[in-house]
């Protein structure tokens, strides 16, 4: 009450120089807004926008070992990149890797989320277990799987031997290594993807299921006709994140295969790392980085355009 | 709504089998970290359990120092992200000024730039600042965070605008309102974001690999890589002990905050 009355009393006075006050207020608002945003803007500029611009700039130059530009070469880094069999192999591996990891991660996590969404006793325990891989770092996960993939002692090959099959050179056979990296990655992704999908499932309005129950709908009918369509925005998000993550894969490769055997696991980020920080060719490494940036940008847009039509919004 | 018993049994069987499969690699690592090397090599079940592997892992490597480094770095990044994200979110929700929508778009745009695509100049910046092998070099580049800003913005939006108007009439400035009203109201979201920030920072790999060259600031993740590459004798027990030490803090954090994290991440991601 008292607040209202003071506000009313002040009104006539401020009407006199209304425009001026408004202008002043606008300036004040602007500087205040900037004050709150300044820390983020400064850091984004220094560690994100400037480096991105600098990457594009570097991709047109040759550099010395310290990273200073020496010779302007125009598009030559790009031309070399697209004609280099090693890099083309790297691109092929990267796309194959995305193809391996994304669908399987989504299917497994969706299955886990659906069964963990039932109202059963002790379900919290299972949810914790399924999300556990999110807490396991890439270094630790890679060490776990390094042993699992071990040619003679590894449980996977022991299992194969036990059923009479021959052991696989998981990390040494060029036709298996990428798949082995994919398995490790899928396992690591499950925790996060599961958690997001479970959250999506729990936010579905339960009255939908109740009315379906009254109509006598079966379990799989409800899954197909209610759960999946209602979950589509979440699925859409999860697919995008998994694809982007797959393009950024690094740690698993550094510990498990170092890009080998015969470059079969030399995925794009590892290739950038090797070119820049092992070979000190910052120019051509930057060209690869620009390509990575463009791919991820395209993926995001494509996902958005393609995904939106199929997505069900409430 | 009750579930028929037959279906219940099927669900429990599925839950248990999947649970075992998902957790098997972790369980194996835990078991191996307590086993003697002989047991591991012969592939037998553990005949004796001991802390020997842990003693040796800590003895041969400055693991304690690595753990402390990781803890400091993760906490600093977490705090930096919380402060910067909440300040930015406050501006996007409560302050009206020219260019706000443009800046919001800029924040969205940052999410489309993968860190790996700008890592080369970033490394050079840190080097030129003399920040190689320092805590600032390992933390400051990660303070600004669009995802955190969006997550908190979503939460701040639920605070009624009238509350701010009332507090302004009462003579409370924006910064004080942010500190005494907004932050306490949003503490659950802040906690979620904090846990998320800590987890991701603790698990960071590529950046510490590039910017640390000595034990003074090296993180435990890179320590584990070293442990794995330097153990010539295939001493898997020690390596697994190291891996277990690395994952224990994050697993505990995840077990404690799983339900909150799930709610918070879903909110930030989807709305």
pLDDT digits (tens, 9 = 90+) for B179-188: 998 999 888 8
- Mean pLDDT for the stretch of residues A261-274: 94
Q: Answer yes or no: do A193 and A256 share one domain.
A: yes
Residue B130 lies in a domain: yes
With beta carbons less than 8 A apart as the criterion, state whether B257 and B192 touch.
yes
Q: Is residue B11, in this structure, part of any structural domain at all?
A: no
Is residue B27 in a domain? no
pLDDT band (50, 70, 90) for residue A141: very high
Q: Are A98 and A247 in contact (CB under 8 A)?
A: yes
Q: Are residues A86 and A49 in the same domain?
A: no
Q: State the average pLDDT over residues B9-15.
A: 94
Per-residue pLDDT of B103-114, as tens digits, reads 998 988 888 888
A246-255, B132-141, B144-153: which range is least confident on average? B144-153
Q: Average of pLDDT values for B68-85?
A: 96
What is the number of domains present in chain B?
1
Contacts of B45 (CB under 8 A, 6+ apart): B39
Within 8 A of B43 by CB-CB distance, chain A residues are 153, 158
Is residue A238 within 8 Å of A109, Cβ to Cβ? Answer: yes
Residue A3 is nearest to which of B169, B174, B269, comparing CB atoms? B169
Q: Does the pLDDT value for residue B202 go beyond 90? A: yes
d(CA A129, CA A195): 11
Compare CB distances from B265 to A40, A190, A199 and report the shortest one's residue.
Answer: A199
Q: Residue B125: give its domain's CATH number.
A: 1.10.3720.10
What does the alpha-carbon distance between residue A305 and residue A308 come to, in Å, rounded to a whole number?
6
Q: Are residues A264 and A143 in the same domain?
A: yes
pLDDT band, very low/low/confident/very high, at B168 (cuts 50, 70, 90)? confident
The number of domains in chain A is 2
pLDDT score recorded for residue A5:
47
Among the candidates A33, A54, A72, a domain finishes at: A72
Do B221 and B36 form a contact (C-beta atoms < 8 A)? Answer: no
A130 CB near a chain B CB, below 8 Å? Answer: yes
Q: CA–CA separation, B229 vs B224, rounded Å?
A: 9
User: Is residue A6 in a domain?
Assistant: no
For the domain that residue A227 is a member of, what is the CATH number? 1.10.3720.10
* Mean predicted confidence (pLDDT) in A275-300: 92
In a domain, A9, yes or no: no
The confidence score (pLDDT) of residue B19 equals: 95
Q: Which residue of B has its CA nearest to A250?
A: B206
A7 within a domain of the structure (yes/no): no
Contact with chain B for residue A58, Cβ under 8 A: yes
- Residue in B closest to A210 by C-alpha: B1
| Contact in structure between B112 and A300 (CB atoms under 8 Å) | yes
Averaged confidence pLDDT in chain B: 89
A133 and A166 together in one domain = yes
Higher pLDDT, A118 or B4: A118
Domain-ending residue, one of A7, A42, A72: A72
List A62's β-bridge partners, or say none: A71
Residues A50 and A149 in one domain: no
What number is the average pLDDT over the span A194-222? 86
For A92-97, what is the mean pLDDT?
A: 95
- The CA-based angle A228-B2-B263, given to 5 degrees, is 50
Is there a domain that residue A5 lies in? no
Per-residue pLDDT at B222 exceeds 90: yes
Residue B32: pLDDT above 70?
Answer: yes
Q: Which residue has the tokens 């509350």?
A: B163
The residue in chain B having the minimum alpha-carbon distance to the alpha carbon of residue A236 is B270
pLDDT of residue B46: 73
Q: What average pLDDT score do residues A232-238 get?
A: 85
Nearest to A202 by CA among B265, B234, B53, B199: B265
Model confidence at B127: pLDDT above 60: yes
Residue pLDDT, tens place only, B227-270: 888 866 678 899 999 999 999 999 998 888 877 777 777 766 55
Reported residue count of chain B is: 271
CA separation for the pair A35, B111 (Å, rounded): 22
Look at residue B127 and tell me if it is in a domain: yes
Residues 265-284 of A with CB under 8 A from B: 269, 272-273, 276-277, 282
Q: What is the mean pLDDT of chain A?
A: 88
- Contact between B219 and B70 under an 8 Å Cβ cutoff? The reply is yes
| Rounded mean pLDDT, A108-135 | 92
Number of Cα atoms under 13 Å in the Cβ half of residue A102: 20
- B184, part of any domain: yes
- Helices A282-310/A228-247 angle, 10° precision: 170
A250 and A103 fall within a common domain: yes
* Whether pLDDT at A226 is above 50: yes
A141 in reach of chain B (CB within 8 A): yes
Closest to A199 in 3D by CA, of A136, A103, A127: A127
Report residue A16's pLDDT band, with 50, 70 and 90 as the boundaries.
Answer: low
How many CA atoms lie within 13 Å of A223's alpha carbon, on the beta-carbon side?
Answer: 10
pLDDT at site B268:
61
Residue B74 has phi, psi (to 5 degrees) of -65, -40
Q: Are strands A69-72 and A61-63 parallel, antiparallel or unpaired?
A: antiparallel
pLDDT at position B214? 87
- Checking if the pLDDT of B89 tops 60, the result is yes
pLDDT at A204: 85
Q: What is the pLDDT of residue A56?
A: 95
Summarised one tens digit per residue, pLDDT across range A29-75 is: 888 888 999 999 999 999 999 999 999 999 999 998 888 888 899 99
A86 and A62 in a single domain? The answer is no
B188 within domain boundaries: yes
> What H or E segment, with its residue span, contains residue B180?
none
Domain of A61, in residue numbers: 17-72
| Coil vs helix vs strand at B45 | coil
Whether residue A236 is contained in a domain is answered as yes
What's the Cα-to-Cα distance from A284 to each of A4, A58, A90, B116, rounded to whole Å?
A: 66, 8, 14, 15
What is the predicted pLDDT for the residue at B270? 55
| Any domain includes B253 | yes
A255 lies in the same domain as A165: yes
State whether A162 and A27 are in the same domain. no
Instruction: Specify the pLDDT at position A314.
Output: 36
Grade residue A304 by pLDDT with cuts at 50, 70 and 90.
low
For residue A218, pLDDT over 90 is answered with no
Is residue B168 situated within a structural domain?
Answer: yes
Name the closest residue on chain A to residue B41, using Cα atoms.
A153
Same structural domain for residues A185 and A233? Answer: yes
Domain span including residue B255: 61-270
pLDDT at position A1, please?
Answer: 40
Question: Are A37 and A171 part of one and the same domain?
Answer: no
Residues A48, A175 within the same domain: no
Chain B touched by A44 (CB under 8 Å):
yes
pLDDT at B37 exceeding the cut of 70: yes
Interface contact flag, B25 A40, Cβ < 8 Å: no
A155 touches chain B (CB under 8 A): yes
């Amino acid at each position: 009450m008292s607040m209202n009355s003071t506000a009313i009393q002040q009104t006539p006075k401020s009407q006199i120089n209304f425009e001026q006050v408004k202008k002043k207020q606008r300036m004040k608002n602007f500087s205040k807004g900037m004050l709150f945003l300044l820390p983020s803007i400064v850091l984004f500029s220094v560690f994100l926008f400037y480096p991105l611009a600098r990457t594009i700039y570097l991709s047109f130059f040759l550099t010395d070992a310290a990273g200073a530009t020496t010779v302007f070469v125009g598009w030559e880094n790009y031309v070399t990149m697209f004609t280099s069999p090693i890099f083309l192999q790297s691109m092929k591996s990267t796309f194959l890797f995305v193809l391996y990891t994304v669908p399987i991660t989504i299917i497994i996590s969706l299955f886990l989320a659906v069964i963990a969404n039932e109202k059963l006793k002790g379900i919290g325990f299972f949810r914790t277990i399924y999300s556990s891989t999110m807490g396991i770092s890439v270094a630790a996960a890679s060490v776990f799987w390094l042993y699992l993939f071990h040619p003679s002692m590894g449980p996977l090959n022991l299992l194969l031997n036990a059923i009479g099959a021959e052991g696989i050179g998981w990390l040494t056979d060029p036709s298996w290594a990428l798949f082995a990296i994919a398995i490790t990655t899928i396992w690591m992704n499950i925790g996060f993807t599961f958690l997001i999908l479970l959250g999506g499932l729990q936010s579905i309005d339960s009255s939908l299921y109740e009315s379906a129950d009254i109509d006598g709908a079966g379990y799989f009918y409800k899954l197909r006709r209610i759960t999946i369509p209602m979950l589509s925005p979440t699925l859409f998000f999860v697919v995008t994140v998994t694809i982007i993550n797959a393009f950024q894969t690094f740690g698993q490769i550094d510990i498990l295969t170092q890009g080998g055997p015969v470059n079969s696991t030399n995925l794009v980020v590892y290739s950038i790392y090797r070119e820049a920080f092992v070979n000190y060719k910052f120019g051509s490494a930057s060209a690869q980085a620009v390509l990575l940036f463009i791919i991820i940008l395209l993926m995001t847009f494509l996902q958005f355009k393609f995904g939106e039509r199929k997505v069900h919004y409430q | 709504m009750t579930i028929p018993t037959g279906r219940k049994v099927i669900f429990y069987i599925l839950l248990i089998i999947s649970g075992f499969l998902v957790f098997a690699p972790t369980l194996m690592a835990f078991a191996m970290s307590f086993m003697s090397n002989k047991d591991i090599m012969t592939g037998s079940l553990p005949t004796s359990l001991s802390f020997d592997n842990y003693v040796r892992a800590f003895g041969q490597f400055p693991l304690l120092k690595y753990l402390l480094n990781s803890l400091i770095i993760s906490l600093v990044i977490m705090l930096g992200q919380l402060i910067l994200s909440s300040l930015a979110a406050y501006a996007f929700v409560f302050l009206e000024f020219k260019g706000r929508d443009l800046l919001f778009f800029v924040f969205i745009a940052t999410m489309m730039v993968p860190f790996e695509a700008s890592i080369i100049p970033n490394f050079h910046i840190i080097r030129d600042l003399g920040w190689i092998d320092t805590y600032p070099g390992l933390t400051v580049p990660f303070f600004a965070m669009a995802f955190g800003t969006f997550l908190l913005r979503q939460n701040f939006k639920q605070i009624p605008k009238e509350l701010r108007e009332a507090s302004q009439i009462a003579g409370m400035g924006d910064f004080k309102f942010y500190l005494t009203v907004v932050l306490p109201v949003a503490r659950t979201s802040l906690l979620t974001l904090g846990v998320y920030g800590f987890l991701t920072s603790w698990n960071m790999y590529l950046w510490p690999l590039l910017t640390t060259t000595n034990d003074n600031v090296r993180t435990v993740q890179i320590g584990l890589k070293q442990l794995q590459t330097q153990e010539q004798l295939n001493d898997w027990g020690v390596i697994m002990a190291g891996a277990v030490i690395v994952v224990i803090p994050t697993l505990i954090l995840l077990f404690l905050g799983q339900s909150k994290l799930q709610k918070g991440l879903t909110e930030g991601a989807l709305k």
